Amino acid sequence: MSFVVDILYSKTTSKYYTGSTQDLTKRLLEHNNGETKSIKNGILWVVVWRAEFQTRAEAMALETKIKKRGAKRFLEDVSRDA
């Protein structure tokens, strides 16, 4: 089973959300149905970036790195390196 690190974006709030999950489709539906209290003001969330990993530890390490750096800066770095 794989683990996904994702960065979501809300046009409503112009904010990013970084998370990790085993089921990105389910998690995105939960966010967009307002089931996640901390980000329900940002509905409609869209996936702007994602990466898959074999272990939860790998996914959590990248999620932590992105959160420390900031999703916007991380995305700028990724696009610059591509």
Residue 36 has pLDDT above 90, yes or no: no
Tell whether the model's pLDDT for residue 82 goes beyond 80.
no
Span 54-66, average pLDDT: 98
What pLDDT, in 10s, does the model give residues 43-59? 999 999 999 999 999 99
Q: Which CATH number fits domain 3-81: 3.40.50.2000, 1.10.274.30, 3.40.1440.10, 3.90.1570.10?
A: 3.40.1440.10
- Contact between residue 25 and residue 47 where contact means Cβ atoms under 8 Å apart: no
User: Please, what sign has the CA dihedral across residues 20, 25, 14, 42?
Assistant: negative
Assign 14 to helix, strand or coil: coil
pLDDT at 38 over 90: no
Q: Is 58 exposed, middle or buried (0-12, 13-18, 19+ CB in 10 A)?
A: middle
Q: Is the pTM of this model over 0.75?
A: yes
Domain assignments of the chain as residue spans, ordered by start: 3-81
